[in-house]
Amino acid sequence: MTTNDHEPTGRDRLAAAIRGRLNALGLSQRDAADRAGVSPRTLSHIEIAAGPTPAGRTLARIDDALMWPHTTATRLLHNTAAPAHTGTDLYTRADVELHTELAFALARASFRGTPTTPLRLPPAPPTPPDTTPSDAWSTSLTAAPPRPANTTTRLTSPATDNDL
Decide if 120 is inside a domain: no
Range of the domain at 26: 8-81+94-110
CATH code, 49:
1.10.260.40
Of all residues in the chain, the percent with pLDDT exceeding 90 is: 18
Decide if 155 is inside a domain: no
- pTM beyond 0.85: no
CB within 8 Å of 25: residues ≥ 6 apart = 32, 66, 67, 100, 103, 104
- Number of structural domains in the chain: 1
pLDDT higher than threshold 50 for residue 1? no
Decide if 116 is inside a domain: no
Q: How far apart are CA 62 and CA 72, in angstroms?
A: 9
Decide if 51 is inside a domain: yes
Decide if 57 is inside a domain: yes
Decide if 68 is inside a domain: yes
98-107, 123-132, 139-148: segment of lowest average pLDDT: 139-148
Decide if 130 is inside a domain: no
Task: List, for residues 99-127, the tens digit of each pLDDT value.
Answer: 777 777 777 766 555 455 555 666 767 76
Decide if 104 is inside a domain: yes
